[in-house]
Structure 1
Amino acid sequence: MRSAMLHVSFPFMLCVFLANTSLFGQVEVDLTYEHYAEKRVESMPALFSMPFNCVVNAAYIFLGLYWLFWTGVEETAQSCYLRQVFALMALLYGPVQWTRLATLRRAPAVLDQWFTLPIFAWVPVWVDFVESAKWRASHAAKLELCSVVSYGLALAHERGFEVALGCHVALAAYKGLRVQLTRGDGLTGGYLLLALLSCAGFVVLKLLDHWLARFWMFQRLTGHFWSKVCDVLQFHFTLCFLTAMTPRAQAKTAAQQE
């Protein structure tokens, strides 16, 4: 766990530092409550200014803690490291989003976008480990570095972040489907389907936040709130898929080598 914490916290702090400089001063981010369909409650403290959209971020923290200390199956040191890094990403992502809503400052808004990219990039890193049956640290570092740097597209164009995110989502989905077809079974297939459905819900519900607010059932628990629920489920089912896939794939590889 010490290695995972070091390898997540150092890039995290570096990104926090860069986000608080003028480097991303021209990035297109939303800094008003009007961006969200949930109404602000003026009498509430800043941390709960939009109660449901704020509190849902605690789910990322609980999910991260659950998977950080999860002991479901026997793991190698490498697969344990992969799980712990992903869990720490979820654990840190919740407070970033919560800070964004509480402060409406540019730095946490940039970080909210930026951190999404290396989180999605960790899926191909893990799948590569499953497919090759060995841990390639330099390959993982290069992929994550490219993912972090790809946020530079947000500086080049107002829709640059959406382009980068779309590419990350597509790559993660492709890698997941490919490893499922070659090494998966019914259990992993079910987890992958739930992860992909959660991903679709995360994207669609977020985009339709204001449109859905016309209907009474989405006026308190808004589309943005439910998109965050889907995002948490996406994290969870992706971890279920990859932790279930890893020992199955390794066993299949060992059998083939014999």
Structure 2
Amino acid sequence: MKSAFLHVSVPFVLCVVLANTSLFDEVEVDLSTDHYAEKVVDFLPYFLAMPCNCLVNLAYIYMGLYWFTWTGCAPEPQESRYLREVFALMAVFYGPVQWTRLATLRRAPAVLDQWFTLPIFAWVPLWISYIERGPAKWRATHAVALELLSVLSYGLALAHERGFELALCCHVILAVYRGVRVQLAHGDRRTRGYLLLAVLSCAGFVVLKLLDHWLGQYQLFERLTGHFWSKVCDVLQFHFSFCFLTTLSQSTRGKTAAQRE
């Protein structure tokens, strides 16, 4: 638990420091309420100006804490617990970052909102690598290298105005590809359902966010906007990824133990 917290909090603080320098002044980010379809409520405090889009970030924190304290139904190896706890803490830290972006409309939290998305997606293929290789062959150095590469890939946002979208697309494709591959090799009907729900939630996260303003013209989406529902899908994407990865971890451990006997 201490290692997971340390390994999330230290890079988090470092990224916060860098985001508050002039390094990312040229990155294309939206810093206006016009970017969101939800209308600002003037009589509410600034941190609740867009109440639905703000409060939905509590779901990240709740979901992250749930999986951080999850005990499962079988003994959990140290490496598997570490992977789960880090992924859960990423969700816990990510919620306040998004909330701060909405509350302040400043460049630094907007950059962090984009930046942290990349290592979160990268953690999925990293966890899958552990499932495929097993505790004996999995190395923490591999995790460090992949996460460092993911963090550095945000440099594409400095090179081109659509660099972040390119980096994110690559991360999503890699996560889905590795998920499908490990499902075909080690999965069952239950994990197939979790994977399908995670992929559908990911699609909803992307599509609903892109259609935020278009959906806003309809009364049904005036307050609970496309952006709000995209965040709901993002939380579900997190949750079903946890379900998929923890279930696969348990089932592969069971198969390995049976083979040894």
Please indicate the TM-score interval, normalised by the length of the shorter structure. over 0.9
RMSD over equivalenced CA pairs, Å: 0.9
Q: Give percent identity, aligned residues only.
A: 71
- Which residue number corresponds to residue 115 of structure 1? 116
- Which residue number corresponds to residue 131 of structure 1? 132
Tell me the amino acid that sits aligned with residue 122 of structure 1. W
Q: Residues 101-145 of structure 1, C-alpha deviation per residue, up to 9 Å, x if partnerless?
A: 000000000000000000000001100000001231000100000
Check if 1:241 corresponds to 2:248. no
1:255 deviates by 4.1
Q: Given the two structures, how large is their TM-score scaled by the length of structure 2?
A: 0.97
- Which residue number corresponds to residue 59 of structure 1? 59
Q: Distance in 1 between matches of 2:28 and 2:243?
A: 34
Q: Distance in 2 between matches of 1:257 and 1:179?
A: 21
Tell me the amino acid that sits aligned with residue 34 of structure 2. E
Check if 1:211 corresponds to 2:214. yes
Matches within 5 A, 1:8-19: 8-19=8-19
Q: Structure 1: 5+ residue runs without aligned partners? A: none
Contact kept? 1:183, 1:252, Cα under 8 Å: no
Q: Distance in 1 between matches of 2:192 and 2:45?
A: 43
1:251 deviates by 2.5
- Which residue number corresponds to residue 198 of structure 1? 201
Equivalences, count: 258
Q: Distance in 2 between matches of 1:48 and 1:25?
A: 26
| 1:188 alignment partner, one of 186, 191, 213 | 191
Q: Distance in 2 between matches of 1:183 and 1:84?
A: 23
Matches within 5 A, 1:164-175: 164-175=167-178
Q: Distance in 2 between matches of 1:72 and 1:132?
A: 21
- Which residue number corresponds to residue 104 of structure 1? 105
Runs of 4+ in 1 over 2 A off after TM superposition: 250-258
Check if 1:30 corresponds to 2:33. no
Matches within 5 A, 1:38-49: 38-49=38-49
1:189 deviates by 0.7
Q: Distance in 1 between matches of 2:29 and 2:94?
A: 17
Q: Residues 160-202 of structure 1, C-alpha deviation per residue, up to 9 Å, x if partnerless?
A: 0000000000000001110000000011111111100000000
1:254 deviates by 4.2
1:95 deviates by 0.1
1:256 deviates by 4.7
Q: Distance in 1 between matches of 2:174 and 2:257?
A: 27
Tell me the amino acid that sits aligned with residue 146 of structure 1. L
- Which residue number corresponds to residue 146 of structure 2? 143
Check if 1:221 corresponds to 2:224. yes
1:73 deviates by 2.6
1:72 deviates by 1.6
Q: Residues 26-60 of structure 1, C-alpha deviation per residue, up to 9 Å, x if partnerless?
A: 00000000000000111110110001000000100
- Which residue number corresponds to residue 87 of structure 2? 86
Tell me the amino acid that sits aligned with residue 94 of structure 1. G
Tell me the amino acid that sits aligned with residue 205 of structure 1. L
| Aligned-partner SS, 2:142 | helix
Contact kept? 1:192, 1:237, Cα under 8 Å: yes
| Aligned-partner SS, 1:23 | helix
Contact kept? 1:133, 1:253, Cα under 8 Å: no
